[in-house]
Amino acid sequence: MNATLPPTAPGAGHPPALPLDLTGRVVFVAGGGSAGPGWSIGRAACVTYARQGAHVCVADRDEASAAETTALIAAEGGEAATFIGDVALEADVQRLFAEARARFGAIDVLHHNVGIGKTGGPLETSAEDLDRIHAVNVRSLLLCSQQVLPDMAARGRGSLIAISSVAGMRYVGYPHLAYSVTKAAVVQFTRMVAQQYAAQGIRANTVVPGLIDTPRIATTVAKMFSDTSLDEARAARARQVPVGRMGTAWDVAHACAFLASDAAAYVTGTELVVDGGLTGKYA
């Protein structure tokens, strides 16, 4: 006689539906505004989380930009609130998370989406430049993690999603030393959190965007292509990608939404590369 499989055994019963649902979860997005008009990764992620039913904490230094994200969510009937501060400053981080918890309760998902850079290699990057960029890109991740990990561990569940960059994995065609080094540090930081807290139900993963067409293209990246228009810069970047186009903020946001959900319950300590095949190229 065949033994009955336990309910949790592979093949027992019906396979579960894909649990891409964040109803009632609280998601804190550090960097939920946008560098300019349009859809940044942080803004698209905020809206995507809200569409999945999450209560979204839209945190940013730019009050008007964060408020715009919150308004977009409200217009769709979602739940969000704006929190203003600099996550590179410890006092601001403590206040931001206290305000977020007072509004929505304990944080279920931390989405760390901040990053700045400066063009240049070792000779063009001062120690002050590196310290400033490290404070925003890495120190802020430490400060935010310290705010959520104790509660997540006590409840036995939580997800940390950090946004890195392909620049943290390879040379991207121009010197971007401080940005690249700090984005590499984000990957290793997240791996370490994943290992330490896995037994406490906390997952930590890094999303690694490639060449993404966001408002940052107009404000910073287009400057890397001298003597070209913004449209020409976009076309030059698209030609680098095997799939023939730059990614959109939504491409990245959807990857983040997967990692935030229970559909990724067995995914931790890894990097989800969203780059259209870019990092797999030989040249």
- Considering the domain boundaries, does residue 241 fall inside one? no
pLDDT for the residue numbered 226: 54
Residues 184, 169 contacting (CB under 8 angstroms): yes
Is the separation of the CB atoms in 29 and 22 below 8 Å? no
Residue 192: inside a domain:
yes
pLDDT at 4: 47
Residue-level pLDDT at 173: 83
Torsion region of 141: left, alpha or beta (phi above 0 gives left; psi -120 to 50 gives alpha):
alpha
Q: Is 240 within the bounds of a domain?
A: no
Alpha carbon 280 to chain centroid, angstroms: 22
Query: What's the pLDDT score for residue 233?
Result: 80
DSSP 186: H
Q: What is the pLDDT of residue 224?
A: 60
Q: In degrees to the nearest 10, what's the CA dihedral of 106, 108, 109, 110? A: 30
Does 185 map to a domain?
Answer: yes
Residue 224, domain member (yes or no):
no
User: Domain holding 172: CATH number?
Assistant: 3.40.50.720
Q: Is 174 a catalytic residue?
A: no
Mean pLDDT of the chain: 92
Quote the Cα angle for 194-200-201, to 5°: 75
Residue 41 lies in a domain: yes
Cβ-contact 200, 156 below 8 angstroms: yes
Q: pTM of whole model > 0.85?
A: yes
Number of domains, the chain: 1
The residue segments making up the domain with residue 114 are 26-213+248-271
pLDDT for 222: 57
Residue 84: beta bridge partners?
60
pLDDT at residue 283, rounded to an integer: 64
The mean pLDDT of 142-169, rounded to a whole number, is: 97
Q: Which residues of 77-89 are buried (b: 16+ CB within 10 A; e: fewer)?
A: ebbbbbbbbbbbb
Instruction: Taking residues 229-245, report their average pLDDT.
Output: 87
Is 12 a member of any domain? no
pLDDT, residue 125, reads: 96
Active-site option among 49, 171, 174, 179: 179
CB atoms within 10 A of CB 91: 10
Place of tokens 């509004």: 103
At residue 63, the 3 state secondary structure works out as: helix
Long-range pairs of 5-8 with CB within 8 A, sequence gap ≥ 24: none
Q: Is residue 180 part of a domain?
A: yes
Task: Reply yes or no on whether the pLDDT at 231 is more than 90.
Answer: no
- Tokens 């997005």 locate to 29
